[in-house]
Chain A
Amino acid sequence: MFAPLRDKSLTGFAPKGMLFPSPLQAAGLSNGVDMDLILFYLRKLFTVLKNEVLVLPSRVVVILFFLILLLLPVFTKDTYLLRIFTLTSIFAILAASWDLLSGFTGQMNFGHALFFGVGAYGAALLNKYVGIPPWGTIPLGALGAVLAGLIIGVPCLRLRGTYLALTTLAFPIILMGIVFALPDLTGGELGISGIARLAGSRVADYYIAVVVMLGLSTIMWKITDSNTGIIFHAIREDELAVRAAGINTTRYKLLAFCLSGFFAGISGGLYAHFMRIAGPSTLEVSMSFTVVIWAIFGGIVTIYGPVGAVFILFPLLEFMRFWQEYRTLMFACVVLLILLYMPDGLFRWLRDKIEKECPRCKIRNIATRDTCRVCTAPLD
């Protein structure tokens, strides 16, 4: 069962000549043509907005989501609120990276905290002992997580399904044992504290986390939409068939582990620098489980599902703070109840409610339409 094909109608319909202006125009000799070019792009933007974005409620929601997140600090400077949304953005990267590996490639990873922890500890160690500033430690920590992805990817290549899920669960725990056994280097149970701040102020922290989150989510979404992503998806559906088609599945599975490790490592590094501490809590079993809960709650094989789920569940859990004792219990109950009614995930369910797919051309339409917006076939 393949997920619906995404329509690629958003990309590329600019005339070739306009994209590459002649040397005469580039030299600024004719101002009028430059104006034309700008006008052309504005008109194109407007057309895309009108014909491709505003017709589908899900796309409108995504645009609004981007705008609200980017404009939030303009309206409120409440540090508590900004802090929550910074953490939410960081965890959204983590949940989406789980989806890239486990959702798309079907390699159920129960030890995603490993990547997060390696990213966090890598960034913290580099910052504390080598003195590299955050913009250097976070990518380096993420490279450490890529290495971790390779190390756990190799033994896991031969496993599948439940075996893989249960085996991956072991890796963060092994690392946690090592962390506890080397308290001089890693601080043992207390973790590494006193590392550099992400940026000077809360608002700057917020913007870094949000922009990185939006950027990386878009990149992940693009990856899943590319050729590589289609192969990932095919491996999930039927690995044997993919191999039979002459594709080296081993390489692609390792690639998925590395990519996912990279993104999760970045979120770990951001977390360490934002909280200014890298502790063993980043490696805990509950951390791995929470990631799985977020992703499946939002709907796997979507990228937007896990991101949206984190933006619902994490603030919800925070705002239930005044109800301290019942917090986790309520969280568990919400998850259980939602699953009973929408086992495919919240956002897939919502999307199927507000949009339908044209039976003839497979293009999505808003649910209120009677005929398809492209091929005018009647929708049922």
Chain B
Amino acid sequence: MGLVINIIISGLISGSVYALLAIGFSLIFGVARIVNIAHTAFYMLAAYCIYFVTHNMGFHPIWGMIAAIVLVTLVGLVSYRIFINPIREHEGAVLIATIALAMAFQEIMVLKFTGTFLSVPSLVKGYLVILGVKVFYQQLLTFCMALLVMAVLWVLLMRTKLGLAIRSTAQDREVANLMGINESRVAMMTMGVSVGLAAFTGAVVVPLTILEPHMWMGPLIMMMAVVVLGGLGSLKGSFMGAYILGFAEALVVFLAPMGAFLKGSVALSIMILVLLIRPEGLFGVYFEEER
């Protein structure tokens, strides 16, 4: 019974993290057709930002979270403006620009904090026992916050004017432009929302994980798998895909021998199996042919 609870908790947490990351990644891909490899690097930046504020400056973690979200979003917008916007027409160039950006962030963090493993105090201490399994309040908090943010995002996308603009630009860039939507401003805003989501994910998840400058690689792979599994550009797909892969990972870790090594392999194999049956992903929307 304890095992089941463990699997559920672990699956829900990693599922929520992947969902938040994948939704942000999907958004900017849908609107601006940017495959942002640096997406999880922003997540890593946010984690380090919290470490800096709590550890080096001695503030309460909540201030760290707020500072992380604001600062990282700013960094994201500035780097978008400088490095990505001028070469947006060249697909390949954007791709390696984001890879190089992620590498640059990683190296700056290595220089500043060295490559050692660090950790951050949790926002709320203590735990409660469910059927003999320790469930930390921080885990519950992470899960609830993730759900809350996803709800807010849903309202933003479905109920506001900005959301309408984002959705219509994602659907058809040219027509959106003709309808008087400032496409490059929408792209900029979306980049802000997307990076903000990554920063938020980093902020809520950092007390549960270990900080190191390469921590962006693992989530990056899983996030991409989620996005492909759910269907590029489909937010519902990203949400479902994230929990599917999160639970698959948790099951493998707790049940299979050598599970910790195989968790990535199994999750990615699931993705490939689904793609064999449905090449556009679970909830994929076909983008109109851009020829």
Query: Which A positions have Cβ atoms within 8 angstroms of B?
Result: 155, 158-159, 162-163, 165-167, 169-171, 173-178, 180-181, 238, 285-286, 289, 292-293, 296-297, 300, 325-326, 328-329, 331-333, 335-336, 339-340, 343-344
- Are B272 and A170 neighbours in the complex by a CB distance under 8 Å? yes
Chain A residues within 8 Å of B266, by CB: 177
Contact status of A329 and B29, CB under 8 A, knowing A169-B221, A180-B261: no
A286 to B221, CA, bound (A): 12
Task: Tell me how far the C-beta of B29 lies from the nearest C-beta in chain A, rounded to whole angstroms.
Answer: 7
Chain B residues within 8 Å of A166, by CB: 35, 224-225, 227-228
Task: Tell me how far the C-beta of B100 lies from the nearest C-beta in chain A, rounded to whole angstroms.
Answer: 4
Chain A residues within 8 Å of B37, by CB: 289
Q: Is B275 an interface residue (CB 8 A)?
A: yes
Q: Is B95 an interface residue (CB 8 A)?
A: yes
- Are A238 and B291 neighbours in the complex by a CB distance under 8 Å? yes
9 CB < 8 A contacts A-B: A155-B276, A170-B224, A171-B268, A175-B265, A177-B265, A285-B220, A293-B96, A331-B103, A340-B83
- Are A333 and B104 neighbours in the complex by a CB distance under 8 Å? yes
Chain B residues within 8 Å of A165, by CB: 35, 95
- Are A174 and B276 neighbours in the complex by a CB distance under 8 Å? no
- Are B217 and A292 neighbours in the complex by a CB distance under 8 Å? no
Chain A residues within 8 Å of B35, by CB: 162, 165-166
Q: Is B2 an interface residue (CB 8 A)?
A: no
A329 to B110, CA, bound (A): 10
B87-107 at interface with A (beta carbon < 8 Å): 87, 89-90, 92-93, 95-97, 99-101, 103-104, 106-107
Chain B residues within 8 Å of A329, by CB: 103-104, 107-108, 111
3 shortest A-B CB distances, which residue pairs?
A177-B265, A329-B107, A170-B268
A331 to B87, CA, bound (A): 19
Contact of B221 among A170, A292, A335 (CB under 8 A): A170
Among B96, B101, B275, the most chain A Cβ lie within 10 Å of the Cβ of B96
1/0 per residue B241-282: CB within 8 Å of A? 000000000000000001001111110110110011001110
Contact status of A181 and B101, CB under 8 A, knowing A155-B275, A163-B228: no
- Are A177 and B97 neighbours in the complex by a CB distance under 8 Å? no
A158 to B284, CA, bound (A): 14
- Are B111 and A332 neighbours in the complex by a CB distance under 8 Å? no
Contact status of A292 and B103, CB under 8 A, knowing A178-B265, A181-B262: no
Task: Tell me how far the C-beta of A103 lies from the nearest C-beta in chain B, rounded to whole angstroms.
Answer: 9
- Are B268 and A163 neighbours in the complex by a CB distance under 8 Å? no
1/0 per residue B209-240: CB within 8 Å of A? 00000000100110011011000100000000
Number of chain B residues whose Cβ lies closer than 8 Å to a Cβ of chain A = 48
Contact status of A300 and B92, CB under 8 A, knowing A166-B227, A180-B261, A328-B103: yes
- Chain A facing B: main interface SS: helix
Query: Which B positions have Cβ atoms within 8 angstroms of A?
Result: 29, 35, 37, 83, 86-87, 89-90, 92-93, 95-97, 99-101, 103-104, 106-108, 110-111, 217, 220-221, 224-225, 227-228, 232, 258, 261-266, 268-269, 271-272, 275-276, 279-281, 291
- Are B261 and A292 neighbours in the complex by a CB distance under 8 Å? no
Q: Which residue of B lies closest to A157 (CB)?
A: B279
- Are B262 and A339 neighbours in the complex by a CB distance under 8 Å? no
Q: Which residue of B lies closest to A165 (CB)?
A: B35
- Are B279 and A159 neighbours in the complex by a CB distance under 8 Å? yes
Q: Which residue of B lies closest to A237 (CB)?
A: B291
A335 to B104, CA, bound (A): 10
Task: Tell me how far the C-beta of B148 lies from the nearest C-beta in chain A, rounded to whole angstroms.
Answer: 28
- Are A174 and B261 neighbours in the complex by a CB distance under 8 Å? no
A176 to B100, CA, bound (A): 23
Q: Which residue of A lies closest to B267 (CB)?
A: A170
Chain B residues within 8 Å of A174, by CB: 264-265, 268-269
A329 to B92, CA, bound (A): 21
Task: Tell me how far the C-beta of B230 lies from the nearest C-beta in chain A, rounded to whole angstroms.
Answer: 11
A296 to B225, CA, bound (A): 24
Chain B residues within 8 Å of A344, by CB: 90, 93
Q: Which residue of B lies closest to A292 (CB)?
A: B96
- Are A173 and B100 neighbours in the complex by a CB distance under 8 Å? no
Given contacts A178-B265, A339-B93, 16 further A-B contacts (CB under 8 A): A155-B275, A158-B279, A162-B232, A165-B35, A170-B225, A177-B261, A177-B262, A177-B264, A285-B217, A292-B95, A297-B96, A325-B111, A326-B107, A331-B103, A336-B104, A344-B93
